[in-house]
């Protein structure tokens, strides 16, 4: 193409090209625009670096109000992922640093001691705090964002489907879906993305467990729309068509409408299987503290699907990559898994009992979660002035437990970038709160047992049934994701053993 034509195309983009540009860069464009306006309106820009005096935390706060939001968004929009924003600042300021994002001062807490203090003071000195787009995505009645008293009630009522007693049924349902999906993919011989498969599996398993949804059209709608809502969690929260935030909020509205219709249908007297949604509806006549409002049911159904799907599916994807890179670990795991598979009658489901007999798989799962850090930090807000390890924290500051730093600290985990399940040969961790993939305390992960079981059943079926070939080794991370995931999704082909 002649140079003139190239320039002419750049200056006169097609409608599709413009839309694609807006979709990919809208958050950064909006943040850049707002930053420029601030620079013009505020006469003195306090760009100064805040240095460390005794008790104060070092860090650069950037522009007034917007702080380093632009840099955060642009790092999140790169192939290194949003945690690179933290990594770079740690190199500049040291382990403890502060920054300003979306108008709030954020402190990153890099130590297991700091994590312990925060977990122990959850609901007292600290409370949960999400960035605005995150709380908009899950809704004001979500377990993730409600205040202490409401949290206690909602958590108690949500706990049932995630108890140990519900696990055997969940494992059977998941195993059935998983076996079918793997068989279909192996038989087709075609390349597929592990991430896409694990997103589908976790979404379907959750929708079946919570609402007994089996209609494929509705399942695909949930999978698609919940992923859009999740994508909106890192975005600039303004309703401009074409942006991630806009698309996420529209998807949220569609999902809410389906939930509302399902609740109305069930109340109209249709018969339904015994599931979480039904158990909530049957509480209609209970006192207020023993039930959920419809808005609470809907926000929390969405929360559970998103919280369970994105985290667990990312861990499943990383587990296959780490195993492929560490063949001696894979061989040992396969030996264990084949013993279990061969002891089971032909065609029978994997069971909860099977999982209890997989000591090496437990270590592989734990090491995957340590190295993958699917939740890169855990956000809180200080509800009063306090100190953390001698550093002053002001009321209203965001305090992020930097679990990635803790899990990658060489003093706690020697040679931390190495995938080495044998670290977990010893039952005790090197220090309390040094291994916290599911958090701790009153806000710890509600789906811990389910997530562990899902990853282990996945590993069991893949490793004992198939070998795989990875078709793309590009280490780039997905852009604008709050969860580190390979942008390739890890494309593989399967071959039956
Ligand atoms: C590998 C998978 C998973 C990981 C690594 C993970 C991790 C976490 C962590 C670290 C927290 C606490 C965050 C904090 O303290 O700020 C959390 C909370 C939560 N998780 Fe998970 N999670 C996973 C899977 C699941 C699943 C399968 C579900 C259920 C469907 C789930 C539901 C929740 C909920 C509802 C909360 C909020 C609890 C509360 O605030 O009381 N998670 N998760």
How far is it, in rounded angstroms, from Cα 238 to Cα 29?
12
Does the Cβ of 445 fall within 6 Å of ligand 1? yes
445 — pLDDT class (breaks 50, 70, 90): very high
Which ligand 1 atom lies nearest to the CA of residue 303? 35
> What pLDDT shows up at residue 67?
87
Q: Is 361 annotated as a binding residue?
A: no
User: In which order are the strands placed within the sheet that holds 192-193?
Assistant: 192-193, 491-496, 466-470
CB-CB contact of 361 with 336 (8 Å): yes
Q: Which domain holds residue 228?
A: 132-496
- Distance of CA 51 from the midpoint of ligand 1 (Å): 35
pLDDT exceeds 60 at position 65: yes
Does residue 334 fall inside a structural domain? Answer: yes
Other CB atoms closer than 10 Å to residue 167's CB: what's the count?
17
The DSSP secondary-structure symbol of 124 reads T
> What pLDDT shows up at residue 129?
79
pLDDT exceeds 80 at position 396: yes
CB-CB contact of 445 with 454 (8 Å): no
26 — pLDDT class (breaks 50, 70, 90): low
> What pLDDT shows up at residue 60?
85
Q: Domain tally for the chain?
A: 1
Does residue 189 fall inside a structural domain? Answer: yes
Does residue 193 fall inside a structural domain? Answer: yes
User: In which order are the strands placed within the sheet that holds 378-382?
Assistant: 97-101, 104-109, 398-401, 378-382, 126-128
Beta carbons within 8 Å of 301's beta carbon, 6+ residues apart? 210, 211, 259, 277
Does residue 29 fall inside a structural domain? Answer: no
B/e letters for 202-231, b = 16+ CB within 10 Å, e = fewer, are bbbbbbbbbbebeeeeebebbbebbbbbbb
CB-CB contact of 39 with 63 (8 Å): yes
pLDDT exceeds 90 at position 88: yes
Does residue 283 fall inside a structural domain? Answer: yes
Does residue 214 fall inside a structural domain? Answer: yes
How far is it, in rounded angstroms, from Cα 27 to Cα 70?
9
How far is it, in rounded angstroms, from Cα 96 to Cα 114?
11
Does the Cβ of 375 fall within 6 Å of ligand 1? yes
Atom 18 in ligand 1: residue holding the nearest Cα = 445
pLDDT exceeds 80 at position 298: yes
> What pLDDT shows up at residue 39?
45
The residues facing 63 across adjacent strands are 67
Does residue 410 fall inside a structural domain? Answer: yes
Our CA angle for 409, 131, 103, nearest 5°, is 100
**Helices within 344-442 (DSSP H only):** 352-356, 359-372, 403-407
Which H or E run contains 339?
Answer: helix 327-343
Beta carbons within 8 Å of 296's beta carbon, 6+ residues apart? 141, 154
- Distance of CA 182 from the midpoint of ligand 1 (Å): 26
- Distance of CA 235 from the midpoint of ligand 1 (Å): 21
- Distance of CA 443 from the midpoint of ligand 1 (Å): 8
> What pLDDT shows up at residue 13?
44
Atom 21 in ligand 1: residue holding the nearest Cα = 445
> % helix / strand / coil in the chain, to the nearest 5?
55, 10, 35
Q: How confident is the prediction for the chain on average, in pLDDT?
A: 88
CATH number of the CATH domain containing 461 = 1.10.630.10
> What pLDDT shows up at residue 52?
42
The DSSP secondary-structure symbol of 128 reads E
């Amino acid at each position: 193409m002649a140079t003139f034509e190239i320039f002419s195309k750049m200056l006169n983009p097609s409608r599709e090209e413009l839309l694609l540009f807006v979709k990919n860069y809208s958050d950064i464009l909006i943040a850049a625009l707002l930053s420029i306006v601030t620079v013009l309106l505020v006469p003195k820009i306090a760009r100064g670096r805040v240095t460390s005096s005794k008790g104060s935390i070092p860090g650069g706060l950037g522009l007034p109000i917007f702080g380093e939001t632009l840099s955060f968004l642009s790092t999140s929009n790169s192939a290194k992922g949003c945690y690179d924003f933290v990594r770079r600042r740690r190199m500049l300021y040291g382990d403890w640093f502060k920054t300003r994002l979306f108008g709030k001062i954020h402190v990153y807490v890099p130590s297991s001691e700091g994590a312990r203090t925060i977990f122990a003071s959850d609901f007292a000195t600290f409370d949960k705090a999400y960035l605005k787009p995150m709380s908009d995505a899950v809704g004001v009645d979500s377990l993730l964002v409600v205040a202490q008293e409401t949290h206690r009630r909602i958590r108690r009522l949500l706990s049932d489907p995630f108890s140990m007693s519900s696990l055997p049924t969940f494992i059977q349902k998941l195993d059935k879906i998983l076996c079918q999906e793997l068989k279909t993919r192996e038989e087709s011989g075609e390349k597929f993305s592990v991430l896409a498969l694990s997103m589908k599996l976790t979404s379907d398993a959750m929708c079946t467990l919570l609402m007994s949804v089996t209609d494929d059209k509705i399942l695909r709608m949930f999978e698609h729309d919940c992923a859009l809502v999740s994508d909106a969690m890192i975005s600039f929260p303004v309703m401009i068509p074409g942006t991630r935030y806009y698309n996420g909020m529209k998807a949220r509205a569609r999902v809410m409408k389906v939930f509302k219709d399902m609740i109305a249908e069930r109340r109209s007297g249709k018969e339904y299987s015994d599931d979480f949604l039904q158990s909530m509806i049957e509480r209609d006549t209970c006192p207020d503290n023993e039930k959920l409002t419809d808005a609470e049911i809907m926000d929390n159904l969405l929360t559970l699907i998103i919280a369970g799907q994105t985290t667990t599916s990312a861990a499943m994807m990383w587990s296959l990559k780490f195993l492929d890179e560490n063949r001696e670990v894979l061989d040992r795991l396969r030996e264990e898994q084949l013993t279990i598979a061969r002891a089971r009658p032909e065609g029978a489901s994997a069971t909860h009992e099977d999982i209890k007999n997989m000591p090496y798989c437990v270590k592989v799962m734990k090491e995957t979660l340590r190295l993958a850090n699917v939740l890169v930090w855990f956000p809180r807000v200080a509800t009063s002035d306090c100190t953390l390890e001698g550093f002053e924290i002001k009321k209203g500051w965001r305090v992020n437990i930097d679990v990635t730093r803790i899990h990658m600290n060489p003093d706690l985990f020697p040679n931390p970038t190495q995938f080495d399940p044998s670290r977990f040969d010893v039952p005790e961790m090197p220090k309390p709160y040094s291994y916290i993939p599911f958090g701790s305390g009153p806000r710890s992960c509600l789906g811990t047992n389910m997530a562990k079981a899902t990853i282990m059943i996945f590993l069991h079926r893949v490793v004992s049934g198939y070998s795989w070939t990875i078709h793309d080794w590009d280490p780039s991370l997905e852009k604008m994701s709050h969860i580190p995931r390979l942008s390739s999704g890890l494309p593989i082909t399967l071959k039956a053993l």
